[in-house]
Structure 1
Amino acid sequence: MSKSPVPTPHNNAVVGDIAETILLPGDPLRAKFIAETFLEDAVQYNTVRGMYGYTGYYKGKKISVQGSGMGMPSIGIYSYELINFYGVKNLIRIGSAGAISDKLKLHDVVIGMGTCTDSNYAYQYNLPGSFAPIANFNLLQRAVNIAASQGTEVTVGNILSSDIFYSDAGLDNLASWKKMGVLCAEMEAAALYMNAARAGVNALCILTISDCPFTGEECSSHDRQIAFTKMMKIALELA
């Protein structure tokens, strides 16, 4: 008999510890904040590499939250294991993003209907062309409706998942994406959407604008950890 793949090198959890719906903030301290602030009977199931994971209940529904780290390689590992080893069916990234569109300002909420990328993540699938990573429509539609019911204005559209935080091209890189109507830049959603598509499960990315590179405005690291509650409340209702 083959050895069980869990616990994994990246996750202390055993099968059953993690709910079918999980929130994935990049920052593990944001996961801790959500568990302590919003979940009842929260139990910590992961501490490996400081990437905290918790399972609890929100309005009577079982839900998990776990840090996913920075960049597509990191969320690629965590989401793959959650889907294929732990049976997670709905993965909702809740992260920060830099505004590309001039219409966005600090603390605005964006939902990624699709994501462009400069990553080579799709290379592994040996596709005979380009793959367009998109959100699950049911989760997307529900999130938009939930936001409206909560009085939160959201912008839905195309985002950028980039491998590069400090680009040698500077703002010229983002300016090129702006011409194509891309709303904002982050670093994880494309890998999440591709992993979900390959496994036939559901994924969605909800973002809060944490900085505006073209104006120089930015939120503090403390705000990024605990102040982005509007997107958290939208995501929690998706359980």
Structure 2
Amino acid sequence: MKKLQTHIPCSPEDIAKIVLLTGDPSRSQLIGNKYLKKSKLVASYREFMTYTGYYKDVKITSTSTGIGSPSTATAVEELINLGAKIIIRVGTCGGALKKEIKAGSIIIPTAAIREEGTTKEYLPPEFPAIADFSVVNALIKNANELGYQYYVGINRTHDAFYGQSQNLRKWGSIYLNNRMKNWLFPLISSEMECAPLFLIGTLRGIKTGAVLAVNANPEPLKAIMEGKFNFDIPASKIQTKEAKASVDRAIRTALEAAVTIKDEL
């Protein structure tokens, strides 16, 4: 029998091969209580709250990580030790970085910029953090079938929720270049957890992906670079109705994707 993990203290039998990873413990609880059948709380320690149940007869675990990359890396490592083979992050990203991506949409990242400290303790920053293609395709397929508005592109993972906008601006320099300003720049979201999930998944041989709820008004990177976006106005204020709707869409997309890829286990 495998040793109990330090932060997710349960047995491998309690953890499904497919795991939905949330930041917010209340979202893990929501998935367990509302979306899964025959669900039970199998572990609760610090920010790590873990439920296991069934969705359309597929065994699924939901685990929370709290905010940021260090705790996400901890959860991912321990879930893999407990037997997880597919981990899909179900998170939020606030306001998207393109004006056309409105609150209520969902984002499916293909990769994450590693602008955080945790993954640098695994590999140099030049090594990419990439989602598994089969997971990305399953998420896209099911978002389509559910009729949701979704966007696919590159995500930025960073450390400071209240960090300075200058750290974001370096990624928008393309918009100030006359030759490149009209190119299709694929950086569309910013959050705090995807990079360690994708990188550790690659290193440890499991499949990973993410679906992000857009729960605030856009904060377009192009407008920021051109000095046309005012951070002092409540442009990123959470829209309660759309925020709840986008989280529901992200959860349902992830669950249906889990059903789609279960045969790859």
Amino acid at match of 1:14: S
Whether contact under 8 Å (2:111, 2:131) holds in the other structure is yes
Counterparts of 1:1-239 in structure 2, within 5 Å, are 4-6=2-4, 8-83=5-80, 85-98=81-94, 99-127=96-124, 130-167=126-163, 169-170=164-165, 172-178=166-172, 179=174, 180-211=185-216, 212-213=218-219, 216-219=235-238, 228-239=247-258
Label 1:126 to 1:93 Cα distance change in 2 as closer, same or farther (>3 A).
Answer: closer
Give the percent of matched residue pairs that are identical in Structure 1 and Structure 2: 28
The CA distance in 2 between the partners of 1:74 and 1:41, in whole Å, is: 28
Unaligned runs of 5+ in 2: 175-184, 220-228, 259-265
Q: CA offsets per residue over residues 51-101 of structure 1, 9 Å max, x none?
A: 221100001111111111110001000011101x20100000010103112
Whether contact under 8 Å (1:21, 1:64) holds in the other structure is yes
The CA distance in 2 between the partners of 1:176 and 1:126, in whole Å, is: 22
Label 1:227 to 1:208 Cα distance change in 2 as closer, same or farther (>3 A).
Answer: closer
Whether contact under 8 Å (2:68, 2:193) holds in the other structure is yes
Label 1:220 to 1:28 Cα distance change in 2 as closer, same or farther (>3 A).
Answer: farther
What is the number of equivalent residue pairs in this alignment?
232
TM-score using structure 2 length: 0.81
Give the match's secondary structure for 2:131: coil
C-alpha RMSD of the superposition: 2.2
Whether contact under 8 Å (2:24, 2:64) holds in the other structure is yes
> Could you say which residue in structure 1 is the equivalent of 2:178?
none
Whether contact under 8 Å (2:69, 2:196) holds in the other structure is yes
Label 1:50 to 1:135 Cα distance change in 2 as closer, same or farther (>3 A).
Answer: closer
Greater CA deviation, 98-107 or 217-226? 217-226
The CA distance in 2 between the partners of 1:152 and 1:222, in whole Å, is: 16
Give the match's secondary structure for 2:129: coil
Amino acid at match of 1:94: V
